[in-house]
């Protein structure tokens, strides 16, 4: 999990993931992670060093190191004599990842409640204001971006680099999970408000419970 602590900072940024020939294997890892997070591959799809190296403008050796890191983190699967694939999870594994996501997200909210400042709350509320506008205009892409920014901010405000790395890894795994549709923003936006309110009160117990309840409800939509 050596690269996942910084990977989350690039996963949903705009623009091409292409990098220069001077890029190190860590940056190749970040670019490939972004491609996975933005759904450029499907679960079970085979990917090759040659094609990724060409897309990123780096050597196959550099890509091989990125592949190795992602295999170790459970994002890719290296099948002997067949190649490297986007990992496909069993139903039991999916539930386990969601359980871990619930626990770690809850901890991030708990820690954030103990460390958060008025400036941090103002930032979360500015994201929430954009979420409201996106929900009112039915702009699902803008809403999803705000959702991502809100959760990433809470992880940052937790002050835990360990949690940041674990959650980034879990987010990559979750991208390969098919869901039966998406939850109604009118429902989730109220949950986000409850999380922000509990953080503003500095209540770690309420913050953790609100976050865990929010994440837990995703299980009902899992295929």
Q: Are the C-beta atoms of residues 12 and 145 closer than 8 Å to each other?
A: yes
Mean of all residue pLDDT scores within the chain: 87
Taking 50 as the threshold, does the pLDDT of residue 126 lie above it?
Answer: yes
Is the pLDDT at 1 greater than 80? The verdict is no
Q: Mean per-residue pLDDT for 101-122?
A: 97
- Which comes out higher in pLDDT, residue 127 or 90? 127
> What is the CATH number that goes with domain 91-221?
1.20.120.530
Q: Exposed (0-12), middle (13-18) or buried (19+): which is 178, by Cβ within 10 Å? A: exposed
pLDDT > 90 fraction of the chain, expressed in percent and rounded: 61
Domain map of the chain by residue range?
4-86, 91-221
pLDDT of amino acid 223: 65
pLDDT for res 153: 97
- Predicted TM-score of the model (pTM): 0.77
Q: What is the pLDDT of residue 181?
A: 59
Query: Which H/E stretch holds residue 200?
Result: helix 185-200
What are the pLDDT digits (tens) for 46-78? 999 999 999 988 899 999 999 999 999 889 999
- Asked whether this chain's domains 4-86 and 91-221 adopt the same fold, the reply is no
DSSP-derived letter for residue 179 is B
Give the CATH number of domain 4-86; options: 1.10.10.10, 3.30.830.10, 3.30.390.10, 3.40.50.720.
Answer: 1.10.10.10
Strands of 83-86's sheet, edge to edge?
A: 46-47, 83-86, 76-79
- How far is Cα 19 from Cα 209, in angstroms, rounded to an integer? 41
Given a cut of 60, whether residue 192 has pLDDT beyond it is yes
Average pLDDT of the segment spanning 34-38:
85
**Residue 135's pLDDT band (boundaries 50, 70, 90)?**
very high
């Amino acid at each position: 999990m050596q690269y996942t602590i910084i990977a989350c900072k690039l996963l949903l940024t705009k623009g091409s993931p292409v990098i220069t020939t001077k890029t190190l294997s860590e940056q190749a890892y970040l670019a490939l992670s972004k491609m996975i997070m933005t759904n450029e591959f499907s679960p079970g799809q085979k990917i090759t060093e040659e094609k990724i190296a060409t897309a990123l403008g780096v050597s196959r050796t550099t890509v091989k190191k990125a592949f190795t890191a992602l295999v170790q983190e459970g994002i890719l699967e290296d099948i002997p004599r067949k190649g490297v694939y986007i990992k496909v999870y069993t139903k039991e594994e999916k539930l386990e990842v969601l359980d871990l996501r619930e626990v770690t997200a809850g901890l991030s909210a708990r820690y954030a409640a103990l460390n958060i400042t008025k400036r941090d709350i103002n930032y979360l509320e500015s994201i929430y204001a954009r979420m409201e506008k996106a929900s009112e205009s039915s702009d699902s892409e803008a809403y999803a971006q705000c959702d991502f920014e809100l959760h990433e901010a809470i992880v940052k405000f937790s002050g835990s680099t360990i949690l940041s790395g674990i959650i980034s890894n879990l987010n990559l795994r979750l991208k390969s999970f098919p869901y039966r549709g998406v939850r109604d923003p009118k429902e989730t936006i109220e949950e986000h408000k409850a999380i922000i309110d509990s953080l503003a009160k500095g209540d770690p117990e309420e913050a953790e419970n609100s976050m865990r309840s929010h994440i837990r409800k995703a299980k009902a939509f899992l295929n």
